[in-house]
Amino acid sequence: MNSASVNILGVAVITLLVGAAVLLTMVRYELGPKSRLARGGQWLLATALGTGILAFALKLVIMLAIVNFPETLVEPLIRKAIVERPVAVADPLYGMTSPQRFVWQPLPMVTESISTGSHATTNNSTYVWEALPEQAPSPKNNPVTPEKVALGERLFFDKKLSRDGTLSCSTCHDVIGGSGDDGRARSIGIDGQQGGRNAPTVWNTAFQSVLFWDGRAVSLEEQAKGPLVNPTEMGMVSLTAVEERIRKDTTYQQAFAQAFGVEQPITIQRIVEAIAAYERTLITPDTPYDRFVRGDLDALSPEQLQGMALFQSLGCVSCHFGPNFSGASLFDPRAPMRIFPIYPTPYEQQYELTHDSGAAGGGGGRGSWRVPSLRNVALTGPWFHNGSVTDLAEAVRVMSSVQLGRTGRYLVWADTNKVFTQLDRPELDEHEVNDIVAFLHALSSDKLVQRIQLSKAQAGVAFANN
Say if residue 241 is in the same domain as residue 370.
no
Q: How deeply is 203 buried, as exposed, middle or buried, from its count of CB atoms within 10 A (0-12, 13-18, 19+)? A: buried
Q: Does 92 fall in a domain?
A: no
Q: Does 232 fall in a domain?
A: yes
Q: What is the mean pLDDT of each run of 10 residues along the chain (466 residues)?
A: 64 73 71 68 68 73 67 51 36 36 37 30 67 96 98 98 97 95 96 96 98 97 98 98 97 97 96 98 98 97 97 96 96 90 92 94 82 98 98 98 85 80 85 98 97 87 68
CB 414 within 8 A of CB 421: yes
Say if residue 404 is in the same domain as residue 431.
yes
Say if residue 340 is in the same domain as residue 243.
no
* Residue at a domain's end among 68, 85, 112: 68
Say if residue 201 is in the same domain as residue 222.
yes
Whole-prediction pTM: 0.74
Q: Enumerate residues 6+ apart whose C-beta is below 8 A from 319.
A: 326, 327, 338, 371, 403
Say if residue 209 is in the same domain as residue 261.
yes
Backbone φ and ψ for 371, nearest 5 degrees, come out as -75, 115
Say if residue 254 is in the same domain as residue 378.
no
From the candidates 130, 153, 221, 233, which is the catalytic residue? 233
| Helix and strand counts by DSSP (H, E) for the chain | 18, 8
So what's the pLDDT on residue 57?
A: 73
Q: Does 268 fall in a domain?
A: yes
So what's the pLDDT on residue 425?
A: 82
CB 277 within 8 A of CB 152: yes
Report the CATH number that the domain containing residue 243 is assigned in CATH.
1.10.760.10
In one-letter notation, the amino acid at residue 212 is: F
Nearest in space to 365 (alpha carbons), one of 400, 336, 339 = 339
Say if residue 400 is in the same domain as residue 271.
no
Say if residue 40 is in the same domain as residue 155.
no
- Number of domains the chain contains: 3
So what's the pLDDT on residue 20?
A: 74
> What is residue 164's three-state secondary structure?
coil
Integer angstrom CA distances of residue 148 from 165, 258, 267, 270, 352: 23, 8, 14, 9, 41
Say if residue 312 is in the same domain as residue 390.
yes
- Give the DSSP H or E segment for 104: strand 101-104
Is the link from the previous residue into 341 a cis peptide, with omega within 30 of 0?
Answer: yes
Burial per residue of 46-75, b for 16 or more beta-carbon CB atoms within 10 angstroms, e otherwise: beeebeebeeebeebeeebeeeeeeeeeee
Q: Does 158 fall in a domain?
A: yes
Q: Does 112 fall in a domain?
A: no
Structural domain for 416, as ranges:
287-444
Nearest in space to 111 (alpha carbons), one of 317, 374, 304, 339 = 317
* Residue at a domain's end among 279, 296, 327: 279
* Residue at a domain's end among 279, 300, 322: 279
Sign of the Cα pseudo-torsion (299, 304, 310, 311, in order): negative
Say if residue 202 is in the same domain as residue 306.
no
Say if residue 264 is in the same domain as residue 175.
yes
Q: Does 262 fall in a domain?
A: yes
Q: Does 129 fall in a domain?
A: no
Say if residue 29 is in the same domain as residue 167.
no
Instruction: Tell me, yes or no, if 233 is annotated catalytic.
Output: yes
Q: Does 328 fall in a domain?
A: yes
Backbone φ and ψ for 278, nearest 5 degrees, come out as -65, -45
